[in-house]
Amino acid sequence: MSSLLQCAVCGLPLAEGEREHGTCRRCQMRGEIRDRLAGSDAPGSSSTGPGWGVGDFDLLDEIAHGGMGIVYRARDRRTGGLVALKSLPPGAADGGAHSRRFLIEVEALCQLHHPGIVRVLEAGSAPGRQFLAMELVSGRDLGRRLKSLGGPMPLREGVALVRKVAVAIRYAHERGVIHRDIKPGNILVDDQGEPRVTDFGLAKILHGDHPETLSGEVMGSPGYMAPELARGQSKHATTTADIYSLGAVLYAVITGQAPFRADTPVATLQKVISEDVRRPRAHNPEVDRDLEAICLRCLEKRPERRYASADQLVQDLEAWERGEPVQAPVAGAWMEARRWVRRNPAVTVSILLLVAALAGSVTMLAWVSHQKQLGEALQQALARTVMTDLNRLWDSAKNETSPEKRYLDVDSPTRALLRGSDAPATAGATRLVFGVYTHDPPPDMLAIIGPALVPLEQEVSQRLGLRVLITLRIYGNYQDAQEAIVRGDIDLMRVGSSTYIEAHDRDPGIEILAAQNGRIQGCIFVRSDSGIGSLEGLKGRSMGFVDDSSTTGFYLAKHRMLLAGLRASDLRGGATNFLGNHSAVGQAVLKGRFDAGAASANNIDPMTNSGLREVLRYAEPLGMPWIARSGLDRRMVEAFRTALLGLRDPKATARLGNGTTGFSPAADADYNSLREAMRESLRFDLPR
């Protein structure tokens, strides 16, 4: 085809009236939209309704009304044809958030040319009114159809419909558009039974700069919303949020109801976040295990456990329709047991102890004199088994290729088991994730952080009138942990001061709750017999560091050497020798691997009796900060801050290190001197 007959942007054939422009009307509209998103041509507001005209369209009657706009049945004066015309509600077309989202919806639809997505005909603005003209689909939305049925659709018909919707969403994802509000009400079904996805008012365009989503904003419809969206993490949503919603629609189609329902939207969101979904077969016995497995995989709480793409979901739905095996794991007895255990951890522990007691009673009673000792011995044996499993899972997690999976979760019931306490009830609990990073095995970090989490759970629960349970998430390095708090994958975190500064500079919404009151000191040290007596003596010598984000074992050491007139080029091998943790740096210097090292003084002080000697000691302005992710509920943030500042129990703080006996108030400004030192330390790496 001649290039004169093709759009210069998208390559589609040009209509007669488009050839003089060289681009099709859709691409022309996309250019206009980008201009408006950049801040120009923002129309004012006015009121319209049936009987009014918008542009070249006469509004006939209202079809639908929502927070993101009003949809009218309208007539095109030029052709006489009927269209669905969407317009912002009065007062919203003011260039604000509603206006910008409306323009993003238009841009999203202009990118999508698929029979399963409602077709855009025209977009523009009349005085005080932005509008979007779309094809008028004869029929009704899936939500109304399900309501009229009063129950599930015939399985094959329902699965075929959801599969077609998934194909359309796959197409949108391939073009960088995430819908974020897939629900039965946004799926129009025409008179021939063919579905079309509509209402991209909450869409996210992956390519380009579209600051339409505020961190912490809850976006979507509660009953069909992915847990990460329900937690207000819409800014970090990926295509797996749409996978969840497709699974929720599939659930509604095959059971006749949404996965989660409650009396209020807030209560529904709580269920989405914290409760396991009831198996579809419990509502509809005609659902087989394969179809149930597909549905439940979509509805996994953790995004990485869902289908990785809409294409994988489509393939499994097609396999089910052909009667072939599916890829989703079918819920056999073991998987059912796992789900039951997650819902009933306290009862599970009791049963395990009872079974162990019955199985081993003859042997164990020979050396355990009474029931209390028996219970303690069984608990210890069970704890050892759990700890072995945790170490195994930790080794597996560290070998994960995906950074988003390189962690180990230890939930509140498991920690209770390990310390010999009764497991807390989990039904209806609000779950939060607390992140830490360590190079050491999980038992070490559990012993450090675990005792502090117990009183924090209790105090925050009491203050909020909720049952709050904390899952401890352990990362193997600071990079993965920092990425997680920036993405919003974890709610709370204990970090090094420099890691906090780096994370806060990337996402200013991250805030400090409090800082440990223990003073953190670092030192530059050498072997006692090295003959090095000052920083000047490090010239031409090799030096080991902790890692490239350690406050005491990297940044402050470089800053002090810079002040003494040294540069990285003065060191043999530069400043790139990283050992991973503070004690390892000390051991490397002791063994002669490096001439000098920089690390936490708390780790090096015990080694001064074994052959190490300090050259310089320095200190951080504050102890380790405990921080909250951007967008965490304000009541939750303040409850944790108050609980931390009131924490004085030596049993809870003794293992936190650096002489910590509690927490002190802290704010971002308190770290400005360290922030400046970190910036200055960058000059250390520059050549002279």
Instruction: Determine contact, residues 310/171, Cβ cutoff 8 Å.
Output: no
The CA distance from 320 to 299, in Å, is 18
CB-based contacts of 506, cutoff 8 Å, min separation 6? 486
The CA distance from 194 to 119, in Å, is 14
Chain centroid to Cα 452, Å, comes to 24
Instruction: Determine contact, residues 533/559, Cβ cutoff 8 Å.
Output: no
Distances (CA, A) of 376 to 347, 372, 411: 17, 6, 22
489, 427, 509: which is closest to 227 by C-alpha?
489
Distances (CA, A) of 345 to 34, 80, 113, 352, 378: 52, 65, 49, 10, 17
* Residue indicated by tokens 């509690």: 662
Token readout for 237 is 């949503």
Instruction: Determine contact, residues 647/460, Cβ cutoff 8 Å.
Output: no
The CA distance from 393 to 400, in Å, is 11
- The CB-side HSE value for 181 (13 A sphere, CA atoms) comes to 17
Instruction: Determine contact, residues 490/447, Cβ cutoff 8 Å.
Output: no
Residue type, 69: G
Token readout for 204 is 């996210």
Task: Assess whether 181 carries a catalytic annotation.
Answer: yes
CB-based contacts of 633, cutoff 8 Å, min separation 6? 232
Catalytic residue among 41, 94, 181, 570: 181
**Strand ranges of the sheet holding 195-197, from the earlier edge strand across to the other edge:** 139-141, 187-190, 195-197
Instruction: Determine contact, residues 357/374, Cβ cutoff 8 Å.
Output: yes
E strand or H helix that includes residue 676 = helix 672-681
Q: What is the 3-state secondary structure (H, E, C) of 94-136?
A: CCCHHHHHHHHHHHHHHHCCCCCECCEEEEEEECCEEEEEEEC
Token readout for 36 is 């408006």
130, 110, 112, 121: which is closest to 79 by C-alpha?
121
Beta bridge partners of 83: 74, 135
50, 58, 52: which is closest to 77 by C-alpha?
58
Token readout for 214 is 């505020």
Say how many Å lie between the first and final Cα of the chain, rounded: 61
- 55-60's contacts with Cβ under 8 Å and 24+ in sequence apart are 55/122, 55/124, 55/125, 55/126, 55/131, 57/83, 57/85, 57/131, 57/133, 59/85
Rg (CA), the chain: 30
The CA distance from 333 to 18, in Å, is 62
Distances (CA, A) of 97 to 107, 214, 228: 15, 10, 21
Q: What is the 3-state secondary structure (H, E, C) of 32-44?
A: HHHHHHCCCCCCC
Token readout for 676 is 């400046």
Q: Which residues are catalytic?
A: 181
